[in-house]
Each structure stands twice: as C-alpha cells, then as structure tokens.
A and B are shown apart, each in its own frame.
Chain A
Amino acid sequence: MTWSNSMSRSTAVFLGLAIALTACGKKAEPDVTPTPTQTPMNRGPNLDSLRADSLARARDAAAAAARDAAAAAEAARAALVNEMASAIHFDYDQFAIRAGDEAMMGAKAAILRANPALRIRVVGHADERGSDEYNLALGMRRAVAAKDWLVRNGVEAGRIETASLGEEVPLDPSSNESAWAANRRGEFEIMAGAQTLVAPR
C-alpha cells in the first residue's frame, strides 16, 4: 500500500514537470521554431537530480516497505502471542476444560505445533471461596488439565510447565460472581521461543 503511495507521489512530480514544460512552450508561442528546451529546464529542476531524487524515493519506499513488512510480521507475531496468552476459565471447584474454551485451546495447540521452539507455563488460579490451601491444589489441577489437553492435541509434554497460585493473585479482588468467574482461570506464560512465530497453516 505504501509502495503504491510512493509510486503515485513520483508520478505526480513527473506530471508537474510536464505541466511546467507545457507552460514554457506557451510562453514561446510567437516563435515558429521554439528554442530548445534548455532554457526552461535551466529555470526548473535538472533531470539528473530529479532522477537521483526518484531513486532515493524508491530506496526510501523499499525501506518503508521493509519496515511495513516487519511491522506486519510483528503484528502477526503479537497476535499469535496474544492468542497463546489468552486465559481460559473454569467452573467453581472444577478443573475440566470448558467446552466454550476448546476453540481457544485448539488455537494454542496449533501455535505450539507450528513453533517447536515455543515453551510455555500454565498457571492455575482459583477464586477466593475455596479454602486458601486447598486452592493451591485446585489451581494445580487446572494447570495440569490445560497441559493434558494440549498434550492430547499433539504438543510435547516437556514444553509445558505447570504451576498454581491458588487464590493468592486475583485479577479482580472484589467478592462477587463476576470477580470469582474472572479469577477462576488458567494463564499461559510464554517462557521461550516467542521471538519469531509462524502462524499455523
């Protein structure tokens, strides 16, 4: 897109030159044989410098295009990172992966399969209602349930660490249903291999 913008900018400059030439030609109208075009050219930009400008513009455009491509790749990578890191949620005192989260889990598994260097840690969290210590075990069950799901879907177990923080790190510290629902979660941290990511085919 930026490349074509540069193209049209260059085109506009050449058109401008053409108009200038035409204007000069009108000025010389009384002469039957118009003087060579040197005079108006001397008053305007010279062709060599125009050519050099054009080359520089092309180089800039290529660099911009490369930057844009890198930005696009980074945006694509960031999208994959976000998809990898998005949290899943659990029912109260349960550790089964919800049916509604399976698409999200499938996307994570695909990213992991497409990027063998990618390593992650799943951290299980609980809401405040269970016992404080029991929630450490429950959070571990949740992390392991997520890991097991990914392993069943083709990801090597050795690439997934698990941990639990129980109810100790709530996303929302309030005591109501929506806070509890938000806090019963599995978080996915990328440990390694996220510098370059390939989108799954």
Chain B
Amino acid sequence: MHLRPLYNRLLPYLLSAPALVLMFLFLIGPIMAVLFLSFTDWQLGETAFRITGLENYLTLFSDELFLRSMRNTAFYIVMTVPTTLIFGLVGAMLILQSGAMRKLYQTIYFLPFMGTAVAMLIVWEFVLHPTIGVWGMIAQWFNLDPVNLLRNEHTALPILALISIWQNVGFAIVLFMAGLSGIPEEMYEAGALDGADGVFSKFSLITWPLISHVTFFVFILLTVHSFQIFESVAVLTKGGPNDATEVLTYTMYKEGFDYFRTNIASAITVVFLTGVGALVLIKAAWLEKKVHYQ
C-alpha cells in the first residue's frame, strides 16, 4: 500500500542512475583520483604511497621546465586566440557577402577542423621541411636561408600557433556565420536611416554588439582548445627545440608516461583543470548575465 509513493520518490533517481554512474566512473571519479594522487608521492608501479601534502605543487612551481611550459602555453594562447577570432569574424562576414559561393567557402575553411589532426600535421611537416618541403622551395626562390622553422627556438612555437590558427579559423567562421545571420536585416536598415551606413559605424553600432554572445563563446572555446594543445607538439617538435614548445599538456604527458611520475603528472593535471574550469565558469556566469541581453 505504501509502495507506490516510495516508488514515485525513487523513480527520478533510478532514471538518472545510469548517467550518474557513468559520469562518476569516467569523469568525477578520475578527477577525484587525480586530485588525490597530486597530494601523494605515488609513482606508477609502486605498491605503497604516502601523503605529501602540497609538496608536489611546491616542486612544480620551483621547476624551471614547468614554469617554461606554463609561459609557453600562455604565449601560445595569446598568439592563437585573438588572431583566430579576428580571422574567423572577418572570414564569416566576407563569406556571407559571397552569395552563390558561400557553401563552397564555408566547406573549404571548415575542412581543416574536420580532418584528422595527426595526418594533417604530417603534411605540415612536409610543407615546412627546409630541403624537400614547400617552405624550402619558397626560400630558394627568394634566396633566403631555408632554416628549419620547427627546429628553431624562435620560430617553433609561432609556427605551431600558425598551424592552430589555420586549423581553427574554419570553426570560428562557422560559429560567427551563425551569429551574423541571426542579426535581423531591419537592424541594418534602421541603422542606415539613423546614419550608420559606413562599414565601421554599422559594425560598431550593430554587428559587434549583436554577436557579442557568439564572440564570447568562440573566445572561450578557442582558449580551452589552445590550452589543450598536444598533437602538434607531440608530432612535430616533441617539446623542443630547447624546450621552446614545451606546453602544459606535453609536460604532463612526459611526466606521467615517460618518467612515470604519476604524482607530478597529477599535480600538472590539477593545474590544467583549474585553468580550464575557471574559463568554463567565467563563460557560464558571464554569458548568462552580461552578454545575453534579450
């Protein structure tokens, strides 16, 4: 007789249980484990460990290589995100004006984002090769010294940034195009009558404010994406030359899977997750409150 209300009360939990279990197993569980491991001295293969508190973090923040990878990651983000954003927005505006060719351009720009990263990076390696690559040929034409851009301390990280921009600009274009086509034509017509008929006045009065939410979304997404840079470093530079392309995720990988220092790798992961988590929180808070005006 009393079973029915109990069943009703339990039903929501039963229905959400599979998702909760999976989330716990593959998301929350591992994060908790990593967090815990970052406070221990456990290394892969060992049977015992002890709690060391903040020791791993202290080691990390006094390690020159880690600090270098932090700086490199930040520098990489600064190089890629604004450029991708600007090229994405300009590209989207141009494509929207292109009429019949619109779909073709959209597809062409989006292809790098859809392709397999490793395959494309191998192509890039060939393109950038100083003797047999396209870069070598161009350098020869202009009588330049065909330096190996990926083996040069000053050019390696900017080149990786360039590849990332090439790869992500199509993604930004698609999102911006969606945002731009959401602006009612009447806004521009009202603007034209109000006196905003130049390219800049139209952009500052109407376009830019009305796609602010898209811009912010793309900005966060690109930042998180840049934070996660790994494939290009692993395939093209392996962190070199002279640690010039050592980035957070690659350092984490080396610590965990080359040196088996799981505790240090865990601490780096926590630092990484904190950064990404902060961005996601900012996005959630800001996007809902400030940018969303309708």
Chains A and B come from one and the same complex: no
Binding site for A on B (CB under 8 A): none
Q: Which residues of A contact B (CB under 8 A)?
A: none
